[in-house]
A and B are shown apart, each in its own frame.
Chain A
Amino acid sequence: MKYVCSICGYVHDEAEKGIPFADLPADWKCPWCGASKSDFSPQEEKEAPAPIVTDVPDLSETHELQKLSAGQMAALCSSLARGCEKQYKAEESRLFKELADYFTRSTPAVEDATVMSVADALKEEIAFYPTLKATAEAAKDRGAQRVCVWGEKVTRMLYSLINQYLEKGDQMLEGNDIWLCTVCGFVYIGKDAPELCPVCKVPAWKFEKISGRN
């Protein structure tokens, strides 16, 4: 039997390793990305087909764009700032950054936000990925499918990390740093950044250290 890490795709082949997955210790970690044992599932498992999004307003005739929230606009503008930066358009990048900052400030505060509610929000995102993926597949939109492949892994890792924190508290960070892949958003806890991002495969220098080691 083979078990696959839902975060990075690492395969634990019981036959090859000579250890049944069930016999691995409870605190065993994915050797590639550090995900928990609970992030693994048997390879044979076939998922039930997810529903696709069909109930959408047809705006094609009116040339109208879907109304976006302040939070969506903030990400849209910071993404365009990044796009201009890549093209060495410094002035355009700065201006898009200004718009992004305005929309970030305008995003309404979340009432009664707790660590638990962040975990719940991540869980909801994970639950929506099958529908997003099925909708992208039905439209044969491979770019949107790629966003699902990366985004789902990154989100699962975030969910796994926040649950580890709820369980173990600061202990999980002891002697480690928090590393953020500045390309895909993958978060890794460890002494050094991974040599290659397990999600988007960029080299270690694309990781940014978020915390100082104690």
Chain B
Amino acid sequence: MSNKKIAVRNLRLCTKDCLCLYVCPTGATDTENSIIDPEKCIGCGECAQACPSAAISLVPVDYPEQQPKTAAVVSALNAQAQRKSYTEKAASQIAAMVAGSGLGYLLEAIGRSERLVTEDIMREAGYMLPQSANVRQLLEDLVANPPTPSFPIETAKQLLKLLP
């Protein structure tokens, strides 16, 4: 695992003081979409130190191994995630039928809330980081055994190619 880091910019915090443009030795911070160019960034950290809005942070290129989870915790979390995905489906199903009404909005909110909580549970159940061994294993399993014929297998293959 290398210690190499690269800079990322939080566009919501960026106040366009543009000091990062003055201090960057490779021009990585000067891009048409405001995303720091990962190809050019050498991880020196000058931009992060110069930024008056603390909008730039340094993240590692290689992430550490994820925290181990016990089988009991994973099993309990998955059980709750399954309940929640059922509730999400029931709520969003009814919401679609009564769309535009007060009840429709409330059930839409409940369905989306349940999805957010389930996402949080799945992160704690071993899938926190996209660049982790668990996620790679999962994608490889999906490519080897697609759940249905309509599974977008090329999408999973592309992800395996892009994720380190």
| B75 and A53 contacting across the interface, CB-CB below 8 Å | yes
User: 1/0 per residue A80-112: CB within 8 Å of B?
Assistant: 101110011111100110110010001111100
A68 to B75, CA, bound (A): 11
Q: Is B8 an interface position by the 8 A CB rule?
A: yes
**Chain A residues in 8 Å Cβ range of B84:** 75, 125
Quote the shortest CB–CB distance from A211 to chain B (angstroms): 4
Given that A74-B85, A128-B83 are known contacts, is A52 also in contact with B72, CB under 8 Å in the complex? Answer: yes
Q: Is A204 an interface position by the 8 A CB rule?
A: no
Q: Is B15 an interface position by the 8 A CB rule?
A: no
A199 to B135, CA, bound (A): 29
| B73 and A118 contacting across the interface, CB-CB below 8 Å | no
Q: Is B147 an interface position by the 8 A CB rule?
A: yes
Q: Which residues 123-149 of A sit at the B interface, judged by CB distance below 8 A?
A: 124-125, 128-129, 131-132, 135-136, 138-139, 141, 143-144, 146-147
Given that A144-B73, A151-B121, A185-B116 are known contacts, is A91 also in contact with B162, CB under 8 Å in the complex? Answer: yes
Quote the shortest CB–CB distance from B138 to chain A (angstroms): 6
| B110 and A162 contacting across the interface, CB-CB below 8 Å | yes
Name the residue on A nearest B150 (C-beta). A102
Q: Which residues 114-149 of B sit at the A interface, judged by CB distance below 8 A?
A: 114-124, 127-130, 134-135, 137-138, 141-142, 147-148
Q: Is A24 an interface position by the 8 A CB rule?
A: no
Q: Which residues 48-95 of A sit at the B interface, judged by CB distance below 8 A?
A: 52-54, 56-60, 63, 65-66, 68-72, 74-76, 78-80, 82-84, 87-92, 95
| A118 and B72 contacting across the interface, CB-CB below 8 Å | no
**Chain B residues in 8 Å Cβ range of A186:** 113
Q: Is A38 an interface position by the 8 A CB rule?
A: no
User: 1/0 per residue B74-90: CB within 8 Å of A?
Assistant: 11111111111111111
Q: Which residues 9-37 of B sit at the A interface, judged by CB distance below 8 A?
A: 9, 35-36
The 6 lowest CB-CB distance pairs between A and B, nearest first, are A71-B85, A185-B116, A79-B119, A211-B105, A75-B118, A185-B113
Residues of A in contact with B (beta carbons under 8 Å apart): 52-54, 56-60, 63, 65-66, 68-72, 74-76, 78-80, 82-84, 87-92, 95-96, 98-99, 102, 106-110, 113-115, 117-118, 121-122, 124-125, 128-129, 131-132, 135-136, 138-139, 141, 143-144, 146-147, 150-151, 154-155, 158, 161-162, 165, 169-170, 173, 178, 180-187, 210-211
Known contacts A65-B141, A113-B90, then 6 further A-B pairs from the complex at CB < 8 Å, ordered by chain A residue: A53-B76, A65-B134, A80-B127, A113-B94, A185-B120, A211-B105
Residues of B in contact with A (beta carbons under 8 Å apart): 8-9, 35-36, 59, 67, 69-91, 93-94, 101-103, 105-110, 112-124, 127-130, 134-135, 137-138, 141-142, 147-148, 150-152, 155-156, 158-159, 162-163
Q: Give 28 A-B contacts (CB < 8 Å), ordered by A residue.
A: A52-B76, A53-B72, A65-B137, A72-B81, A72-B118, A75-B81, A78-B119, A79-B119, A88-B36, A89-B162, A117-B90, A118-B87, A118-B107, A141-B70, A141-B124, A147-B120, A147-B124, A154-B113, A155-B117, A161-B106, A162-B106, A162-B110, A173-B106, A181-B116, A185-B115, A185-B116, A185-B117, A187-B110
